[in-house]
Structure 1
Amino acid sequence: MYAILGAAGKIGYSTSSTLRQTGVPVRAILRSKAKSDPLSAIGCDIAVADLQDPNALAQAIAGANAVQVICPPLPHIPNTADDMVRSIGSIMEALEKARPDLVLAISDYGAHVRDDIGMPTMFRYFEERLAELPMRKIFLRSAEHMEGWAALFPVASAISTLPSFHHPVDREFPTVSARDVGMIAADLLLRPDLEINQRVVHVEGPRRYSAADFATAFTRLLGRDVTAEAVPRAEWFETFGRVVSPSAADLLVKLYDAHNRGGLVDVEPGGEVRYGTSDLTGALRSRLPAG
């Protein structure tokens, strides 16, 4: 039995569907049954548990041989970092009770960095806490998701400009389709290296892209010229603050500062890397608004 925490998310659904295609049993763990229909349709068992309810999580995980865990940040709540710490504690408690043979944790590029670089530092803490557990662990560090840029389709369509916090806009950075992360996670769950108690794997797309490359993809998909434009550093916090809490904005400002310093939000030196197959235009096309 493979238990997938957050199975309704982009990565979780991809992992679940890939596992089901091989015929293995999958238990999809969701916050509520509201998003369970697509998972039931592919033959998943459904379990409901809140991320911060360790007893319910432990019951949902119970009997699973392998578990995929994820700690998604909630950017709109007052203190995103504190909420992630509480969720990590709950996941730890649940895993200690359920004791699966293998845990695969979805982590983040840059989680190896010791300095505070915002969001990746939260995932460093996630990895450090999970490292305390006795079972075998795989930390799957994901590059920035291509699909995350799809939120900018309305802006690009309205003003023909793609705002970027990546400076300069022609600098390439690691990025990956969330679908590919889930597929590679499924492969690692099915074929873990039994000789390694704790394994770190990085996953990114077939090539690296720049913000200018994203603008080119937007141009193709929208049928109008779109140009990447760097958002001035002095405007970052205010810009993020329009859509997320101050706590989340602080994590994001530190993240993009680290990106723009170069070499931090990247593969750990000497680290193992797996590559997805989805190209940028294809990944964004799947998120193109109707009409």
Structure 2
Amino acid sequence: MTVSSLPYAVFGVTGRTGAAAADALLQAGQRVRVVVRNPAQSQPWADRGAEVAVADLTDVASMTRALRNVRGAYVVCPQQYGREDLFEQAAWMADAVAKAAVAAGVPRLVALSSVGADRDCKIGWIGMNRVFEQRVGDAGVPTIFLRAAYFMENWTPFVHQAVRSGTLPTFLAPPQRRIPMVATLDVGRAAAALLQEEWTQTRAVTLTGPQDYSPHDVAAVVSATIHKPVDVAVLPPADWPLALAGAHFSKAALAGFTEMTVGLNSSHIDIKSDASAAQRAGTTALEQVIAAIARSQQPG
């Protein structure tokens, strides 16, 4: 690992993985350029010595400026679940990233993707990641698509319910089946590590946690943290729209969530389905993430 006079550009620093990537790079002594849509969100990073670029992920000109004269970039395209055209919006952002990366001459990209992006159908939301991989991959810029497993932080609202009620709802079934999960902290750290490595070929890298986990494992961590029994309640598909009402998903987003979750439960979406992808594992255990979420809901 070497330190260059050129910075690494990091998108998504107002979210978990982007913040973790920028932090890891700064901790390593690297120069960092955070890319934000709202300049007001950049001050904490500027205070740490990061450069700041302002760009809109659908605007090629501002994206090109943000990506010019960098050593590499970590790109996160936020998915806008309240929109009926969320898949079209994701495609526009993918095109903008691809065009800007070429115009700016970016030497390499690490792009956040998802388990299942290698599948060509029945993947719901993950279809946005698949389009992203295709559009950016076709641009010819060396890119690692970081296919992350199920985020441990996805459990946050359900852990909150479990702390209040003693029951952990879940869309995943059967509840004893373990699947790969990963902490968002490890996703950001992996992105930072990959940016600092030497490589020139476009490829996919899967990222899991140190082991696989089930809904029962999540409930056990909550129970141990709050010192009360916690049951697991699998929500049937007919109840999913009501359970997600507070998320304000569009009809298209709800349909995409349903198809994706059915794919996860049937193992159609599987971290090992692409034999050509390299495999990495984070070090953050489920217990660390879930216990912290549960403690945040306890009085005092």
TM normalised by structure 2 equals: 0.91
SS at 1:113 equivalent = coil
| RMSD of equivalent CA atoms | 1.6
Is 1:220–2:230 an aligned residue pair?
A: no
TM alignment of 1:21-32, pairs within 5 A? 21-32=27-38
6-15 vs 28-37, which moves further: 28-37
Aligned to 1:250: 255
Asked if 1:111 corresponds to 2:117, the answer is yes
| Alpha carbons 2:73, 2:110 under 8 Å: kept | yes
Shift of 1:67: 1.1
**Residue 53 in structure 1 maps to residue 59 in structure 2:** yes
Letter in 2 for 1:146: M
Among 240, 243, 246, the residue aligned to 1:239: 243
Q: Partners of 2:291 and 2:43 in 1: how far apart?
A: 24
Alpha-carbon distance in 1 for matches of 2:23, 2:259 = 34
Superposed CA offset, 1:107-156 (max 9, x none): 00000012131122221111011111122111110011101211223311
Q: Please give the alpha-carbon distance, in whole angstroms, between the structure 2 residues aligned to 1:179 and 1:24.
A: 18
Contact 1:177 1:276 in 2 (8 A): yes
Shift of 1:209: 0.3
1:95 is aligned to 2:96: no
Partner of 1:268: 273
Aligned length: 289
Q: Secondary structure at the match of 1:248?
A: helix
Query: Which secondary structure state, in structure 1, belongs to the residue aligned with residue 69 of structure 2?
Result: coil
Query: Do the aligned residues in 2 keep the contact of 1:241 with 1:249 (CA within 8 Å)?
Result: no
Deviation at 1:157, TM superposition (A): 2.2
Provide closer, same or farther for how the CA distance between residues 265 and 252 of structure 1 changes in structure 2, counting only shifts above 3 A.
Answer: farther
Q: In structure 2, what is the Cα distance between the partners aligned to 1:44 and 1:268? A: 38
What is the match of residue 4 of structure 2?
none
Unaligned runs of 5+ in 1: none
Indicate the percent of aligned positions where both proteins have the same amino acid.
Answer: 28
| Structure 2: segments with no counterpart, 5+ residues | 1-6
TM-score by length of 1: 0.94
User: Is 1:198 matched with 2:202?
Assistant: yes
Distance 1:6 1:249 in 2: 24
| Distance of 1:24 and 1:86 partners within structure 2 | 31
1:22-171 superposed matches below 5 A: 22-171=28-177
Provide the C-alpha distance between the structure 1 equivalents of 2:91 and 2:243, rounded to a whole number of angstroms.
25
1:131 counterpart SS class: helix
Note if contact 1:49-1:56 (Cα within 8 Å) is conserved in structure 2. Answer: yes
Give the 3-state SS of the residue equivalent to 1:278 in structure 2.
coil
Larger deviation: 134-143 or 87-96? 87-96
Deviation at 1:263, TM superposition (A): 4.5
